């Protein structure tokens, strides 16, 4: 057999070795413990489901980039999950539809895509998240943003900034004060994404030009948006954003707030409110969330309101792994006192027992050695 | 859309709801903490790999029951892992080939198969395991069995019994003192599996008849095997088993030992030693392990000796979930003192904050309510 074939991993997939895995385990526990402390109950959906089930729960989810295969039992298409949020939504509106609202659910698991995304070849990520189901107003959104920040800080993230967005703002403006034809709407959205002022005007979106400039530090961007005075569409959204920002700042911590009102990338199913969180030394967003609707059993209905977030901790883990403290480990020589070793483990020692006379405490990474009943430094 | 299609899960796949997930989280942490305390470093291989890579690392692994698909990047076959042990073996002999031996690695993750197995439709399981790489002798095997038992006991398993087996015993006997033709060997193996004495004799395996009776309680079965006095094949294996049993019993705990020397089911790649662990109230084996060889970069070599085990905690989680203690939770009314709530979370309280005036502490499962700065029972 071709040795290379067997030893290489496919593009975009990686092994995590001991030091990084220790960081991943610590960070995952820290994140989940914060979600749990705020009353988010963890659930565990399966890794694979019917493709339809993964795709139909929220607007805008695409199955094109999922690993798909035929279920030999039902002969229907199944897929490997690429996002756990729709699964948690499914649980909320089916098996937990009679649970009291607001329903707080948390989750953690691996998500996989068939291909990488643009320049990022990554095909598997850890996703950790929390969803508050039954409300999607200011209080719910503010809680969710504050919990996401607290979780990241507990995991060791520093230099946190939160970028707010209004994912359906352009839809709402075009349906009201700043009308656009469907063709113009698509073009205006594209040019706002590209932040291309000239092309935006050419696309018939001159009215939308001020949105391009209302971007950056939260206070200044809010001032610019407020000055637009677009009745009925902006007012409610801006006062909601203001209230969320105040709640986040009241929670303390050194958090920088920014606003990019037309940012849509990564907000496939969010409605009036979206946010991304960034941390120092970590490339890309470490969290993304917002308000959305879970499509229920009755397709005609509006769906159940929800707000939540997903953390993608892998880059944070990589950034923090180098600083992960090396743990003290106790070498147990051949013929050691087993009950002494058990007592030391019970008070937190990590032990490595000799298997043969040749085993070397230092080579095995041990900081101490059991000498009689006492640990001594090696 | 067909609502049923969207809401149902495929056969053999399940959601875990809050109470079961709380048990799963607690049990997983308890198991991993014991492995960690004995010096097993956790690693995290990816969920998907090249099919060849998953299949070629140990003898006897079949890809037939794996979810497989074509990698759009390389156009080679990939598969969803159905067993993490070969992945950990790959890490040990490639990226960690220069790490000191014995190398102790641990892992936890979901494994998936395309179809259920016989009467059990389950297609996804949690697998947790530990591998001791570089030795597969008595000391290594004894450590591994003792660690598996300690982990299960820490997770709450009771009434533990360990069933030892000698997976390659029939091969060794047929190559030595009790010769068989290749056709006879296959038939003898089959009839030993079926425990059919008559068919075993007909298949030319009369010499093997005593093995069928040397099954059950460890001491009695060992006595019967010892009485066979098959020089060179049984002697070494029996003294090794005896030493492992003594070490396991020395570790204490109320553990019952049994022996089924020809048991092969579930021991696809194990060599001289295998074991299964059972727990009270849990159907099927909760752990399975033994000695094996990791096929290295050089196919001609014997492979690196290793011994390890895999735990399949799902049935244990289900068995223990009903007893999972309900946690005390503190309801935070609208307008509560946020810093008091934060202080209480810091000392271990779990909180649920009101989102609207209609939120009800009892309905939300809260045991307490924040009254000023103090929790009071609801």
Q: Which pLDDT value is given to residue A73?
A: 87
CB burial of residue A119 (10 Å; 0-12, 13-18, 19+): exposed
CB A292 within 8 A of CB A270: yes
Which among B46, B73, B356 has the least Cβ separation from residue A124? B46
Given a cut of 90, is residue B370 above it in pLDDT? yes
Which pair of structure tokens corresponds to residue A137? 């107003």
Q: Which pLDDT value is given to residue B232?
A: 80
Q: What spatial distance separates the first Cα and last Cα of chain B, rounded to whole Å?
A: 44
Q: How many residues does chain B have?
A: 378
> For A229-278, how does the pLDDT look when each residue is reduced to its tens digit (9 = 90+)?
787 888 899 999 999 999 999 887 789 999 999 988 888 788 899 999 99
Instruction: Determine the 3-state secondary structure of A378 from DSSP.
Output: coil
Number of A to B CB contacts under 8 A, please give it: 255
Are B9 and A67 inside 8 Å of each other by CB? no
Which among A7, A37, A71 has the least Cβ separation from residue B350? A37
Assign A1 a pLDDT band (cuts: 50, 70, 90). Answer: very low
Mean pLDDT on B180-193: 93
- Within 8 A by CB and 6+ apart from B307, the residues are B131, B132, B135, B136, B140, B141, B144, B273, B289, B290, B291, B292
Given a cut of 60, is residue A175 above it in pLDDT? yes
Distance from CA of A111 to the nearest CA of B (A): 9
User: Which class in CATH covers the domain with range A1-158+264-325?
Assistant: alpha beta
CB burial of residue B171 (10 Å; 0-12, 13-18, 19+): middle
Which among A48, A100, A298 has the least Cβ separation from residue B13? A48
Interface residue of A4, A26, A31, A37 to substitute, partner B, most B CBs within 10 Å: A37
Distance from CA of A159 to the nearest CA of B (A): 21
Are B91 and A17 inside 8 Å of each other by CB? yes
The DSSP string of B93-156 is HTTTTTS-SSEEEEEEEEEE-SS-BTTB---EEEEEEEEEES--SHHHHHHHHHHHHHHHHHHT
Q: Which pLDDT value is given to residue B56?
A: 79
Given a cut of 50, is residue A371 above it in pLDDT? yes
Which pair of structure tokens corresponds to residue A280? 């120092």
Q: Which pLDDT value is given to residue A248?
A: 92
Q: Which pLDDT value is given to residue A267?
A: 84
Assign A3 a pLDDT band (cuts: 50, 70, 90). Answer: low
Are A73 and B12 inside 8 Å of each other by CB? yes
Q: Which pLDDT value is given to residue B1?
A: 45
Interface residue of A1, A25, A41 to substitute, partner B, most B CBs within 10 Å: A41
> For A289-324, how does the pLDDT look when each residue is reduced to its tens digit (9 = 90+)?
999 999 875 555 678 999 999 999 999 999 999 888
Distance from CA of A139 to the nearest CA of B (A): 6
> For B50-93, how does the pLDDT look when each residue is reduced to its tens digit (9 = 90+)?
998 888 777 777 778 899 999 998 999 999 999 999 999 999 99
Quick one: closest CA in A to B355, which residue?
A: A139
Residues of B whose CB is below 8 A from A338: 250-251
More confident residue, A118 or B159: B159
Are B363 and A32 inside 8 Å of each other by CB? no
Which pair of structure tokens corresponds to residue A270? 């969010």
Q: Which pLDDT value is given to residue B112?
A: 96
Tell whether B120 is in a known binding site.
no
The region of weakest confidence among A119-133, A160-174, B230-244 is: B230-244
Distance from CA of A254 to the nearest CA of B (A): 16
Specify the residue for token string 């004995």. Answer: B38
Which among A67, A72, A110 has the least Cβ separation from residue B114? A72
Given a cut of 50, is residue A167 above it in pLDDT? yes
Given a cut of 70, is residue B5 above it in pLDDT? no
Report in angstroms the alpha-carbon separations of A253 from A152, A157, B342.
Answer: 11, 11, 13
Given a cut of 80, is residue A95 above it in pLDDT? yes
Measured over the CA atoms of residue A299, residue A302, residue A306 and residue A307, the dihedral's sign is positive
CB A26 within 8 A of CB A324: yes
Mean pLDDT on A50-64: 82
CB A125 within 8 A of CB A14: no
Given a cut of 90, is residue A63 above it in pLDDT? no
Instruction: Work out the angle at residue B287's Cα, subtended by the Cα atoms of residues B31 and A33, and round it to the nearest 5 degrees.
Output: 25
Residue A206 has φ and ψ, to the nearest 5°, of -55, -35
Which among B124, B143, B298 has the least Cβ separation from residue A48? B124
Q: Which pLDDT value is given to residue A327?
A: 85
Q: What is the mean pLDDT of chain A?
A: 92
CATH number for B1-157+277-325: choose from 3.40.50.261, 3.90.190.20, 3.30.930.10, 1.10.10.10.
3.30.930.10
CB B126 within 8 A of CB B110: yes
Q: Which pLDDT value is given to residue B4?
A: 54
Tell whether A83 is in a known binding site.
yes
> For B296-339, how does the pLDDT look when each residue is reduced to its tens digit (9 = 90+)?
755 556 789 999 999 999 999 999 998 888 889 999 999 999 99
What is the domain partition of chain A in residue ranges? Answer: 1-158+264-325, 168-262, 329-377
């Amino acid at each position: 057999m071709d040795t290379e074939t067997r030893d290489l991993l496919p593009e975009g997939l990686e092994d995590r070795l001991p030091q990084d895995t220790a960081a991943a385990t610590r960070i995952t526990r820290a994140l989940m413990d914060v979600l749990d402390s705020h009353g988010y109950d963890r659930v565990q959906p399966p890794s694979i489901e019917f493709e339809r089930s993964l795709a139909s729960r929220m607007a805008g989810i695409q199955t094109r980039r999922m690993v798909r295969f035929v279920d030999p039992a039902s002969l229907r298409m199944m897929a490997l999950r690429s996002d756990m949020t729709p699964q948690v939504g499914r649980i909320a509106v089916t098996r937990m539809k009679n649970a009291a609202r607001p329903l707080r659910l948390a989750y953690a698991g691996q998500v996989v895509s068939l291909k990488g995304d643009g320049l990022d070849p990554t095909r598997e990520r850890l996703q950790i998240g929390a969803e508050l189901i039954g409300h999607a107003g200011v209080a719910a959104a503010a809680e969710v943003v504050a919990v996401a920040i607290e979780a990241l800080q507990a995991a060791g993230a520093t230099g946190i900034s939160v970028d707010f967005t209004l994912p359906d703002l352009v839809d709402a403006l075009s349906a009201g004060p700043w009308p656009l034809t469907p063709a113009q709407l698509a073009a205006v959205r594209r040019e706002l994404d590209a932040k291309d002022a000239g092309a935006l005007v050419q696309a018939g979106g001159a009215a939308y030009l001020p949105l391009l400039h209302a971007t950056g530090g939260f206070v200044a961007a809010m001032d610019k948006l407020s000055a637009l005075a677009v009745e009925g569409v902006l007012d409610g959204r801006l006062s909601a954003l203001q209230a969320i920002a105040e709640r986040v700042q009241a929670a303390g911590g050194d958090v920088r707030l920014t606003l990019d009102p037309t940012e849509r990338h990564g907000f496939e199913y969010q409605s009036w409110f979206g946010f991304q969180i960034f941390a120092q030394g970590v490339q890309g967003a470490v969290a993304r969330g917002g308000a959305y609707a879970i499509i229920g059993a009755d397709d005609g209905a509006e769906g159940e309101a929800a707000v939540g977030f997903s953390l993608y901790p892998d880059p944070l883990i990589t950034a923090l792994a180098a600083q992960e403290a090396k743990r003290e480990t106790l070498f147990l020589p051949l013929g050691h006192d087993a009950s002494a070793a058990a007592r030391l483990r019970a008070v937190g020692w990590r032990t490595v027992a000799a298997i043969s006379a040749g085993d070397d405490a230092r080579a095995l990474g041990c900081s101490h050695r059991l000498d009689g009943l006492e640990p001594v430094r090696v």
